[in-house]
Structure formats: C-alpha cells, structure tokens
Amino acid sequence: MKTAPTTRRGNGQTMPPSGMQSHTSALALSRRRWLFAAAAGAAALLRVDARAAPRVIRIHARRFVFTPDRIALAPHERVLFELTAGDTLMGFSIPQFGVRADVPPGAVVQLAAEAGDAGSVPFLCDIFCGSGHETMNGMIVVG
Ligand SMILES: [Cu+2]
C-alpha cells in the first residue's frame, strides 16, 4: 500500500499565518536572488580564468628535431607554446593555425595558438638551419 507524504500537523494547521508566510517568501526570494547573482559571478570568474590561462606546452628545437614532435590538443583548445632553441636560430610555424615565431638560442619565446576542429596539423621549422632543415617538422593531433 502506498503512503502519501503528509504535511498536515496534529492540530490540522498546514500553513503558517499569512503575514509570516509573505515575510518568509520575500526573504527567501531575496536570498535566492543573491545566491543566483553569486553563482553567476563565480561562473563569470571561471570563464575569465579559463580565458586567461591556456595550457603551456614547451617545445625545444635543435638541428633537426622538435621535442616533442607530436602534440595532442583538444578541439578549439587554446595553448601557449614556450619555445626554446639549442644551437642556432630556428623557426616554429603552424601554417594551418596561422602562427609562427623566430626562436633564437638562449631565449624562451611564447607563442599563443588556438586549435581548430579535429584533425592532423603539421608544424615545421621555417628558417633554414642546415642540411636537415627540410625534414624538421612535427604533428599536432587535434581530437
Ligand atoms: Cu630549420
């Protein structure tokens, strides 16, 4: 047998006096509004944080290798590459993302980028650095 929940009290009264009811409701409403505003504010802060802090990915370039030479990104992920070069001036270019940078030895070069849709995106050295330059490349796998 099913038992329905009951709000009826022993004296038969189910509601507080009407004056108290409206006072309580106004208070609850204003409190709900405040909580909603606080939640919205927190959500906005989280969004700002997400925009302000892209993932940092360090890549080292030397003749004729990038380390790492395979990078996995989420679709539309924003990242900040931190690029270093070991021996000579290198270039770091991701043509499909429309970004590139010179990477002189001894410097840490920051390069912001944003991934697109899922797929394979090649990157390469675009400054001639020696006889193996043409094979100096890597792959970003977005997915
Ligand atoms: Cu090169």
Mean pLDDT by 10 residues, the chain (143 residues): 48 50 58 59 53 89 98 97 97 98 98 98 98 98 97
* Centre of ligand 1 from the C-alpha of residue 84, in Å: 13
Q: In this structure, are 28 and 74 located in the same domain?
A: no
Residue 28 near residue 99, CB atoms below 8 Å: no
Dmax (CA) of the chain: 96
* Centre of ligand 1 from the C-alpha of residue 104, in Å: 12
Q: Which domain holds residue 46?
A: 18-53
Q: In this structure, are 42 and 74 located in the same domain?
A: no
Q: In this structure, are 38 and 69 located in the same domain?
A: no
Which residues are near ligand 1, the ion (C-beta closer than 5 Å)?
Answer: 125, 129, 133, 136
Number of domains the chain contains: 2
Residue 10, both tokens: 């022993």
* Centre of ligand 1 from the C-alpha of residue 66, in Å: 10
Q: How many residues does the chain have?
A: 143
Q: Is there a domain that residue 96 lies in?
A: yes
* Centre of ligand 1 from the C-alpha of residue 82, in Å: 17
What is the chain's mean pLDDT, rounded? 82
Per-residue pLDDT of 105-140, as tens digits, reads: 999 999 999 999 999 999 999 999 999 999 999 999
Tell me the Cα Rg of the chain.
29
Q: Is there a domain that residue 11 lies in?
A: no
What local confidence, expressed as pLDDT, does residue 7 receive? 47
